[in-house]
Chain A
């Protein structure tokens, strides 16, 4: 090989590298949810329209994702240009200046169309720090046929008393049908999501205005006793280890009379491909307690945000604008049907006749989301925002510890009083150490 050939080869290689390098590559960290997987599949539509941007996906388990992204942002690693995070993290991270405000979403991006409850949870000082990809609240999913068989009729705004009674009536141990399936698996995002929402609706709160834990108050005792009794009377066996996925399976196999959980589950239980009871499911608002005007305030959204360490913020916002736009919804509808579009982020979706026709759960989902207000989680005054969680950094650890104590009650290893006393002691210690209690 002559020197000329080598030089020519090197030049063409360089030219190739230069062409490839001109396209900016975005690295997006996400979780393995159905809607996210769908988005990955449709990415080529974005890159086709934006040939100067390439997209690489990093899919991680939810807790690993939090750990990785936290390390990366805190140490300025700059490995991710877009991260998928929950509305729990958004205000905390925004205040720590870990996220960039989304100011480059473009003129066409209809910001006012975002559901107010969701938008409020993602904004700090009126600036949007993450765009919602899909959102959810919680509601009752119930078996219409079993309700009828038991001579029951679901009221428009059910109370806990009615629900407990209905669950008991629907329970048929011989037929392996439990009247009520609820989360029991320990974790701040598992059983504590439900128990916190339940306690909100009972008028309870995690902390008073001075950050003093409230587990020693009557509302918590009433809520936890109610939860434990209902699980004992009408819950499935082994309920203390059931989380979202386990209850989903039980419901899909026709083993639950009711299931109170995230609204996003509605699309799974009504999908005839996976669910044996797809055509028998009814939906109703999250119950409230008589005399307490609160439906739990469960509100969650998976959002796309740009970490402050990203060096490709402009392209990243371009992608976010595309993935959370009305046009993206239309694209998913065209490719996969209206029932599969990401729910719970835009008002326009719930006004869409095609969506309402394809998704029987559309109206109840919107009603549930409208009923949630994370700025006022409970009827009493609180120093925090949140609903099924408390939006402070310490909540992850504290929520999980308390979740373990409450899970033990459902497993029959502890009593309500003991669990509440232990929760009060742990929370008081943790909050004092963290400097909330002076």
Chain B
């Protein structure tokens, strides 16, 4: 039976939810506000009222080409996500439905690779990229982003797959489905919400990755993270222009997140109630 909730409690929780949401969203909002200020206003101190100038957006667009890094961001994030899913779905299937003695250890080991600071392996990775001719190439960076996000993708999918009763897969097998058919026609459709949220989260992670995407690119494969970084200046004011560049860089992913939030929430809470 559902618990009775008083109107007062409802209002209280709603206000709290709004406050928390606003707090989380505030840095993005402030970047947007700052992008509409002049450089002098931007650095003058805290203020929520901008003068409304669009000068920064015009400067950003005239100083650097936005389209090329934008396309690189799209290619890298979507490409690495698809590649990660192709590898992770069978992997997570094996771990969820045919676990071995060391499955848990493998999962922990995979996660442990995320615990090492990226800069610790910068030089070896750089030399590998140089030797394979992958520096400043979209292919190289797609592989890199796939590998760094793979542990998270496997973990998420593993969690979702475990919620799916193994009996359904067994039934499919008894009906003569081979492994391929079992994964493609039975498991995947059932796990769509989970896969969708993994896909969205991975796209966001790949879109925002700012270490390797800056370290391993120069011009051809540089995505929006490199575009933002280029507006910081050692001598001269740049906060407003940097905010405009950031707003332009995060806008696409923000819009994607906004439209897919239902799917994202559904996926993230998938399996919470059996």
Contact = CB atoms under 8 A, between A and B. Distances in A.
A33 B235 contact: yes
A136 to B, nearest CB: 9
A244 B219 contact: no
Contact of B218 (A58, A253, A262, A265): A58
A71 B215 contact: yes
A59 B126 contact: no
A27 B218 contact: yes
Contact of B214 (A68, A77, A249): A68
A253 B40 CA distance: 8
Nearest to A261: B235
Interface in A56-72: 56-62, 64, 67-68, 71-72
Contacts of B44: 249, 253
Given A56-B219, A58-B218, A249-B43, A71 B236 contact: no
Nearest to B44: A249
Interface in A11-39: 27, 29, 31-34, 37
A25 B231 CA distance: 23
B230 A252 contact: no
A198 to B, nearest CB: 20
A79 interface: yes
Nearest to A189: B234
A319 B236 CA distance: 25
A175 interface: no
Q: How many B residues touch the partner, as a band?
A: 20 to 34
A245 B229 CA distance: 17
Nearest to A33: B235
Indicate the member of B122, B226, B233, B235 with the most A CB atoms within 10 Å: B235
Contacts of B30: none
B230 A59 contact: yes
A245 B64 CA distance: 22
A246 interface: yes
A249 B136 CA distance: 37
A32 B238 contact: yes
A16 B234 CA distance: 41
B237 A249 contact: yes
A253 B219 CA distance: 38
Contacts of B218: 27, 29, 56, 58, 79-80
B130 interface: yes
B63 interface: yes
Given A64-B229, A71-B122, A249-B44, A268 B236 contact: yes
Interface string A350-389: 0000000000000000000000000000000000000000
Contacts of B123: 71, 74-75
A10 B160 CA distance: 48
Indicate the member of A61, A62, A248, A252 with the most B CB atoms within 10 Å: A61
Nearest to B237: A245
Contact of B236 (A56, A79, A245, A253): A245
B232 interface: yes
B179 interface: no
B229 A27 contact: no
Query: Top 8 nearest A-B pairs by Cβ distance?
Result: A59-B230, A61-B232, A32-B233, A62-B234, A56-B219, A249-B43, A58-B218, A79-B218
10 contacts: A31-B233, A37-B63, A57-B219, A60-B226, A75-B126, A75-B130, A77-B135, A249-B44, A249-B237, A253-B40
